[in-house]
Copies of this chain bind each other. A is one copy, B any other.
Amino acid sequence: MANTRIPVGLVGVTGYTGMELARILAGHPGMELVRATSRSEAGRPLSSLYPFLSGPGELGRMGALTITQPDPADLAAACKLVFLAVPHKTAQDIAAALIAKGVKVVDLSADFRLRDKNVYEKWYATPHTQQALLAEAVYGLPELYREDMKRARLIANPGCYPTSAILGLLPALEQGLVSASDIVVDSKSGTTGAGRKAGVGTLFCEVSDSFRAYNLTRHRHTPEIEQEASRLAGEAVALSFNTHLLPMNRGILSTIYTKLARPLSLAEAHAAYAERYAAEGFVRVLPAGQLPETRFVRGTMFCDIGLAVDERLGRLIIVAVIDNLCRGASGQAVLGANLMLGLPEDQGLHLAPLMP
Protein backbone atom coordinates (compact mmCIF):
# COMPACT_ATOMS: atom_id res chain seq x y z
CA MET A 1 0.00 0.00 0.00
CA ALA A 2 1.05 3.58 -0.52
CA ASN A 3 3.37 5.33 1.90
CA THR A 4 0.92 8.13 2.28
CA ARG A 5 -1.32 6.31 4.69
CA ILE A 6 -2.07 8.17 7.88
CA PRO A 7 -0.24 6.74 10.89
CA VAL A 8 -2.47 5.54 13.71
CA GLY A 9 -1.97 3.80 17.03
CA LEU A 10 -3.82 1.25 19.13
CA VAL A 11 -3.68 1.30 22.90
CA GLY A 12 -4.65 -2.11 24.27
CA VAL A 13 -3.95 -4.75 21.69
CA THR A 14 -4.62 -7.94 23.61
CA GLY A 15 -8.40 -8.10 23.55
CA TYR A 16 -10.86 -9.04 20.85
CA THR A 17 -11.52 -5.43 19.86
CA GLY A 18 -7.80 -4.89 19.43
CA MET A 19 -7.58 -8.04 17.36
CA GLU A 20 -10.49 -6.96 15.20
CA LEU A 21 -8.98 -3.51 14.69
CA ALA A 22 -5.81 -5.19 13.41
CA ARG A 23 -7.88 -7.24 10.95
CA ILE A 24 -9.68 -4.20 9.61
CA LEU A 25 -6.62 -1.94 9.42
CA ALA A 26 -4.74 -4.68 7.54
CA GLY A 27 -7.03 -3.97 4.59
CA HIS A 28 -7.40 -0.22 5.01
CA PRO A 29 -5.81 1.87 2.24
CA GLY A 30 -5.82 5.12 4.21
CA MET A 31 -4.44 4.29 7.64
CA GLU A 32 -1.36 2.48 8.79
CA LEU A 33 -0.99 0.94 12.23
CA VAL A 34 2.36 2.16 13.52
CA ARG A 35 1.95 1.65 17.26
CA ALA A 36 0.31 -1.14 19.25
CA THR A 37 0.62 -1.03 23.00
CA SER A 38 0.09 -3.39 25.90
CA ARG A 39 1.46 -3.15 29.41
CA SER A 40 1.80 -6.91 29.73
CA GLU A 41 3.09 -7.76 26.26
CA ALA A 42 5.44 -4.85 25.47
CA GLY A 43 8.64 -5.89 23.72
CA ARG A 44 7.19 -8.81 21.79
CA PRO A 45 6.34 -8.66 18.11
CA LEU A 46 2.61 -8.56 17.48
CA SER A 47 2.89 -11.87 15.59
CA SER A 48 3.95 -13.70 18.73
CA LEU A 49 0.62 -12.70 20.24
CA TYR A 50 -1.37 -13.25 17.05
CA PRO A 51 0.26 -15.90 14.86
CA PHE A 52 -2.23 -15.15 12.09
CA LEU A 53 -0.49 -11.80 11.51
CA SER A 54 2.26 -13.20 9.33
CA GLY A 55 3.08 -13.81 5.73
CA PRO A 56 3.97 -11.34 3.02
CA GLY A 57 2.02 -8.13 2.67
CA GLU A 58 0.28 -6.03 5.25
CA LEU A 59 -0.50 -8.91 7.64
CA GLY A 60 3.17 -9.74 7.98
CA ARG A 61 4.20 -6.10 8.29
CA MET A 62 1.71 -5.63 11.07
CA GLY A 63 2.86 -8.84 12.78
CA ALA A 64 6.44 -7.54 12.78
CA LEU A 65 5.41 -4.46 14.77
CA THR A 66 6.92 -4.50 18.25
CA ILE A 67 4.37 -4.00 21.00
CA THR A 68 5.25 -0.99 23.15
CA GLN A 69 4.28 0.45 26.51
CA PRO A 70 1.41 2.95 26.23
CA ASP A 71 3.43 6.17 26.35
CA PRO A 72 1.42 9.27 25.31
CA ALA A 73 4.52 11.16 24.20
CA ASP A 74 5.62 8.36 21.94
CA LEU A 75 2.13 7.84 20.60
CA ALA A 76 1.74 11.55 19.91
CA ALA A 77 5.04 11.69 18.09
CA ALA A 78 4.16 8.79 15.85
CA CYS A 79 0.39 8.93 15.33
CA LYS A 80 -2.26 11.32 14.09
CA LEU A 81 -5.01 9.32 15.74
CA VAL A 82 -5.15 6.70 18.44
CA PHE A 83 -7.75 4.02 19.16
CA LEU A 84 -8.23 3.20 22.83
CA ALA A 85 -9.20 -0.43 23.40
CA VAL A 86 -8.69 -0.49 27.15
CA PRO A 87 -11.26 -0.91 29.94
CA HIS A 88 -13.41 2.02 31.04
CA LYS A 89 -11.81 4.13 33.78
CA THR A 90 -8.35 3.43 32.29
CA ALA A 91 -9.29 5.23 29.10
CA GLN A 92 -10.17 8.62 30.64
CA ASP A 93 -6.71 9.86 31.43
CA ILE A 94 -5.01 8.38 28.39
CA ALA A 95 -7.55 10.12 26.20
CA ALA A 96 -6.92 13.42 27.95
CA ALA A 97 -3.14 13.10 27.66
CA LEU A 98 -3.31 12.32 23.95
CA ILE A 99 -5.75 15.07 23.11
CA ALA A 100 -3.61 17.52 25.04
CA LYS A 101 -0.81 16.64 22.64
CA GLY A 102 -2.97 17.19 19.60
CA VAL A 103 -3.78 13.58 18.81
CA LYS A 104 -7.31 12.62 17.82
CA VAL A 105 -8.84 9.81 19.83
CA VAL A 106 -11.48 7.16 19.26
CA ASP A 107 -12.28 5.63 22.62
CA LEU A 108 -13.85 2.17 22.45
CA SER A 109 -14.53 2.10 26.19
CA ALA A 110 -17.62 3.47 27.92
CA ASP A 111 -15.81 6.45 29.42
CA PHE A 112 -17.19 9.18 27.18
CA ARG A 113 -20.52 7.76 26.07
CA LEU A 114 -22.75 9.11 28.84
CA ARG A 115 -23.14 12.85 28.70
CA ASP A 116 -24.25 13.07 32.29
CA LYS A 117 -21.30 12.58 34.66
CA ASN A 118 -23.66 11.48 37.42
CA VAL A 119 -25.20 8.77 35.35
CA TYR A 120 -21.72 7.53 34.46
CA GLU A 121 -20.61 7.52 38.07
CA LYS A 122 -23.74 5.72 39.21
CA TRP A 123 -23.66 2.92 36.65
CA TYR A 124 -19.90 2.46 36.49
CA ALA A 125 -19.25 3.09 40.19
CA THR A 126 -16.13 5.12 39.56
CA PRO A 127 -15.46 8.87 39.39
CA HIS A 128 -15.16 10.64 36.06
CA THR A 129 -12.03 12.77 36.05
CA GLN A 130 -12.35 14.40 32.62
CA GLN A 131 -15.55 16.34 32.71
CA ALA A 132 -14.56 18.90 30.09
CA LEU A 133 -13.71 16.20 27.63
CA LEU A 134 -16.95 14.43 28.44
CA ALA A 135 -18.83 17.54 27.35
CA GLU A 136 -16.89 17.66 24.12
CA ALA A 137 -16.93 14.01 23.14
CA VAL A 138 -19.14 12.98 20.22
CA TYR A 139 -21.13 9.75 20.37
CA GLY A 140 -19.85 7.89 17.35
CA LEU A 141 -23.00 6.59 15.69
CA PRO A 142 -22.85 7.93 12.14
CA GLU A 143 -26.58 7.60 11.48
CA LEU A 144 -27.13 10.16 14.25
CA TYR A 145 -23.98 12.24 14.59
CA ARG A 146 -22.16 12.14 11.27
CA GLU A 147 -21.49 15.87 10.99
CA ASP A 148 -20.36 16.22 14.60
CA MET A 149 -18.03 13.27 14.18
CA LYS A 150 -16.25 15.00 11.29
CA ARG A 151 -15.29 17.86 13.60
CA ALA A 152 -14.56 15.82 16.71
CA ARG A 153 -11.27 15.50 18.56
CA LEU A 154 -12.71 12.71 20.69
CA ILE A 155 -15.23 10.12 19.64
CA ALA A 156 -16.97 7.91 22.18
CA ASN A 157 -17.45 4.73 20.22
CA PRO A 158 -20.91 3.29 20.93
CA GLY A 159 -21.32 0.08 22.88
CA CYS A 160 -22.14 -3.10 21.00
CA TYR A 161 -25.61 -3.70 22.42
CA PRO A 162 -26.57 -0.01 22.17
CA THR A 163 -25.59 0.09 18.50
CA SER A 164 -28.13 -2.64 17.75
CA ALA A 165 -30.81 -1.25 20.05
CA ILE A 166 -30.56 2.38 18.97
CA LEU A 167 -30.47 1.60 15.26
CA GLY A 168 -33.42 -0.72 15.77
CA LEU A 169 -35.47 1.89 17.59
CA LEU A 170 -34.39 4.96 15.63
CA PRO A 171 -37.09 5.37 12.96
CA ALA A 172 -39.88 4.21 15.28
CA LEU A 173 -38.98 6.72 18.00
CA GLU A 174 -38.02 9.55 15.67
CA GLN A 175 -41.37 9.32 13.95
CA GLY A 176 -43.41 8.54 17.02
CA LEU A 177 -44.68 5.25 15.69
CA VAL A 178 -44.45 3.59 19.10
CA SER A 179 -44.98 4.40 22.74
CA ALA A 180 -41.78 5.60 24.39
CA SER A 181 -42.80 4.29 27.78
CA ASP A 182 -43.20 0.58 27.14
CA ILE A 183 -40.13 -0.83 25.45
CA VAL A 184 -38.40 -4.14 26.11
CA VAL A 185 -35.04 -4.89 24.50
CA ASP A 186 -34.16 -8.58 24.73
CA SER A 187 -30.57 -8.90 23.49
CA LYS A 188 -28.39 -11.90 22.81
CA SER A 189 -24.65 -11.72 22.20
CA GLY A 190 -21.91 -14.01 20.98
CA THR A 191 -19.18 -14.74 23.48
CA THR A 192 -16.53 -12.38 22.09
CA GLY A 193 -18.67 -9.77 23.83
CA ALA A 194 -17.47 -11.16 27.13
CA GLY A 195 -13.88 -10.29 26.32
CA ARG A 196 -10.65 -12.23 26.11
CA LYS A 197 -9.73 -12.39 29.77
CA ALA A 198 -9.16 -15.87 31.19
CA GLY A 199 -12.01 -16.98 33.42
CA VAL A 200 -13.86 -20.22 34.12
CA GLY A 201 -17.20 -18.74 33.09
CA THR A 202 -16.19 -18.26 29.47
CA LEU A 203 -14.26 -21.48 28.96
CA PHE A 204 -15.35 -23.39 25.90
CA CYS A 205 -16.95 -26.18 27.93
CA GLU A 206 -18.93 -23.75 30.10
CA VAL A 207 -20.44 -21.88 27.15
CA SER A 208 -20.71 -24.49 24.42
CA ASP A 209 -24.09 -26.16 23.93
CA SER A 210 -25.69 -23.91 26.55
CA PHE A 211 -27.50 -20.60 26.84
CA ARG A 212 -28.11 -18.23 29.70
CA ALA A 213 -29.33 -14.80 30.67
CA TYR A 214 -27.11 -12.45 32.66
CA ASN A 215 -27.19 -8.99 34.24
CA LEU A 216 -30.98 -8.75 34.00
CA THR A 217 -32.26 -5.23 34.77
CA ARG A 218 -28.76 -3.89 35.48
CA HIS A 219 -26.57 -4.08 32.40
CA ARG A 220 -24.36 -1.00 32.08
CA HIS A 221 -25.44 -0.40 28.52
CA THR A 222 -28.92 0.53 29.78
CA PRO A 223 -28.27 4.27 30.36
CA GLU A 224 -26.49 4.54 27.01
CA ILE A 225 -29.51 3.18 25.17
CA GLU A 226 -31.87 5.32 27.21
CA GLN A 227 -29.81 8.45 26.58
CA GLU A 228 -30.09 8.12 22.82
CA ALA A 229 -33.65 6.78 22.86
CA SER A 230 -34.73 9.77 24.92
CA ARG A 231 -33.17 12.13 22.43
CA LEU A 232 -34.94 10.38 19.57
CA ALA A 233 -38.29 10.31 21.33
CA GLY A 234 -38.07 13.84 22.61
CA GLU A 235 -38.96 12.64 26.07
CA ALA A 236 -37.31 10.67 28.86
CA VAL A 237 -37.27 7.01 27.99
CA ALA A 238 -36.80 4.28 30.59
CA LEU A 239 -36.73 0.84 29.06
CA SER A 240 -36.14 -2.76 30.04
CA PHE A 241 -32.83 -3.94 28.62
CA ASN A 242 -31.67 -7.50 29.26
CA THR A 243 -28.88 -9.66 27.94
CA HIS A 244 -28.05 -13.27 27.14
CA LEU A 245 -24.91 -15.17 26.18
CA LEU A 246 -24.93 -17.18 22.93
CA PRO A 247 -22.74 -20.24 22.26
CA MET A 248 -21.13 -18.64 19.22
CA ASN A 249 -18.29 -16.22 18.54
CA ARG A 250 -19.66 -13.09 16.91
CA GLY A 251 -22.99 -11.41 16.55
CA ILE A 252 -25.67 -9.61 18.51
CA LEU A 253 -29.38 -9.99 17.89
CA SER A 254 -31.74 -7.67 19.72
CA THR A 255 -35.44 -8.42 19.73
CA ILE A 256 -37.19 -5.15 20.54
CA TYR A 257 -40.77 -5.19 21.78
CA THR A 258 -42.75 -1.96 21.39
CA LYS A 259 -46.37 -0.89 21.49
CA LEU A 260 -47.74 0.93 18.49
CA ALA A 261 -48.82 4.50 19.15
CA ARG A 262 -51.51 4.04 16.51
CA PRO A 263 -52.55 1.15 14.23
CA LEU A 264 -49.92 0.54 11.60
CA SER A 265 -49.54 -2.14 8.97
CA LEU A 266 -46.29 -4.00 8.36
CA ALA A 267 -46.06 -2.27 5.00
CA GLU A 268 -46.29 1.14 6.63
CA ALA A 269 -43.76 0.33 9.31
CA HIS A 270 -41.44 -1.10 6.69
CA ALA A 271 -41.77 1.97 4.52
CA ALA A 272 -40.86 4.22 7.43
CA TYR A 273 -37.74 2.22 8.16
CA ALA A 274 -36.72 1.85 4.52
CA GLU A 275 -37.07 5.57 3.92
CA ARG A 276 -35.16 6.61 7.02
CA TYR A 277 -32.23 4.38 6.14
CA ALA A 278 -32.36 4.74 2.35
CA ALA A 279 -29.20 6.82 2.24
CA GLU A 280 -27.33 4.87 4.87
CA GLY A 281 -24.68 2.53 3.51
CA PHE A 282 -24.41 0.30 6.53
CA VAL A 283 -28.01 -0.28 7.55
CA ARG A 284 -30.03 -2.79 5.57
CA VAL A 285 -33.77 -2.91 6.11
CA LEU A 286 -34.73 -6.39 4.95
CA PRO A 287 -37.74 -6.92 2.68
CA ALA A 288 -40.98 -7.00 4.65
CA GLY A 289 -41.54 -10.44 6.09
CA GLN A 290 -37.87 -11.35 6.18
CA LEU A 291 -35.88 -11.62 9.41
CA PRO A 292 -32.16 -11.08 9.89
CA GLU A 293 -29.59 -13.65 11.01
CA THR A 294 -26.32 -12.83 12.68
CA ARG A 295 -24.32 -14.76 10.07
CA PHE A 296 -25.50 -12.40 7.34
CA VAL A 297 -23.48 -9.60 8.96
CA ARG A 298 -20.53 -11.65 10.20
CA GLY A 299 -17.35 -9.63 9.88
CA THR A 300 -19.15 -6.62 8.40
CA MET A 301 -20.39 -3.13 9.20
CA PHE A 302 -24.03 -3.88 8.44
CA CYS A 303 -26.88 -3.52 10.85
CA ASP A 304 -29.65 -5.68 9.38
CA ILE A 305 -33.18 -4.95 10.51
CA GLY A 306 -36.35 -7.00 10.21
CA LEU A 307 -39.83 -6.05 11.34
CA ALA A 308 -43.00 -7.77 12.47
CA VAL A 309 -46.30 -6.15 13.30
CA ASP A 310 -48.62 -7.97 15.65
CA GLU A 311 -52.00 -6.50 14.76
CA ARG A 312 -53.72 -8.63 17.36
CA LEU A 313 -51.73 -7.02 20.18
CA GLY A 314 -50.88 -3.67 18.62
CA ARG A 315 -47.16 -4.32 18.74
CA LEU A 316 -44.21 -3.56 16.50
CA ILE A 317 -41.38 -6.05 17.00
CA ILE A 318 -38.01 -5.01 15.65
CA VAL A 319 -35.13 -7.43 15.17
CA ALA A 320 -31.72 -5.81 14.72
CA VAL A 321 -28.49 -7.72 14.20
CA ILE A 322 -24.88 -6.61 14.03
CA ASP A 323 -21.43 -8.11 14.31
CA ASN A 324 -20.54 -7.05 17.83
CA LEU A 325 -16.82 -6.78 17.10
CA CYS A 326 -17.04 -5.02 13.75
CA ARG A 327 -20.12 -2.74 13.67
CA GLY A 328 -20.39 -3.00 17.45
CA ALA A 329 -16.80 -2.00 18.16
CA SER A 330 -13.73 -1.82 15.95
CA GLY A 331 -15.33 -1.33 12.55
CA GLN A 332 -17.46 1.51 13.82
CA ALA A 333 -14.32 2.96 15.44
CA VAL A 334 -12.58 2.92 12.07
CA LEU A 335 -15.56 4.63 10.50
CA GLY A 336 -15.29 7.30 13.17
CA ALA A 337 -11.59 7.66 12.47
CA ASN A 338 -12.30 7.97 8.74
CA LEU A 339 -14.62 10.88 9.45
CA MET A 340 -12.19 12.57 11.84
CA LEU A 341 -9.34 12.22 9.37
CA GLY A 342 -11.27 13.47 6.35
CA LEU A 343 -11.26 10.12 4.62
CA PRO A 344 -14.35 8.69 2.93
CA GLU A 345 -16.64 7.35 5.63
CA ASP A 346 -16.69 3.83 4.24
CA GLN A 347 -13.02 3.53 3.34
CA GLY A 348 -11.67 0.10 4.19
CA LEU A 349 -15.06 -0.99 5.42
CA HIS A 350 -16.60 -2.70 2.39
CA LEU A 351 -16.38 -6.04 4.09
CA ALA A 352 -18.38 -8.97 2.77
CA PRO A 353 -19.90 -11.38 5.29
CA LEU A 354 -18.03 -14.62 5.78
CA MET A 355 -20.67 -17.17 4.89
CA PRO A 356 -20.89 -19.57 6.45
| Chain A residues in the interface with B (C-beta under 8 A) | 16, 19-20, 23, 26-27, 50-52, 54-59, 182, 184, 186, 188, 190-192, 196-200, 202-214, 216-217, 238-240, 242, 244, 246-251, 253, 255, 257, 281-282, 284, 286, 290-299, 302, 306, 308-310, 312-313, 315, 317, 319, 321, 350, 352-356
Quote the shortest CB–CB distance from A252 to chain B (angstroms): 9
Q: B250 and A247: CB pair below 8 A?
A: no
Q: How far is the CA of A352 from the CA of B302 in the complex (A)?
A: 18
Q: How far is the CA of A354 from the CA of B192 in the complex (A)?
A: 13
Q: B211 and A204: CB pair below 8 A?
A: no
B-chain residues with CB within 8 Å of residue A210 when the two chains form the complex: 248, 251, 293-295, 298, 356
Most chain B beta carbons < 10 A, residue from A199, A200, A205, A354:
A205
Closest to A25 in B: B352
24 A–B contacts, CB within 8 A, in A order: A16-B356, A23-B354, A23-B355, A27-B350, A52-B295, A52-B296, A52-B353, A54-B286, A186-B186, A188-B188, A196-B200, A198-B200, A198-B203, A202-B203, A203-B204, A206-B356, A208-B208, A208-B356, A209-B295, A209-B298, A210-B294, A210-B295, A216-B319, A242-B255
One complex includes copies of this chain to the number of 4
Closest to A257 in B: B184
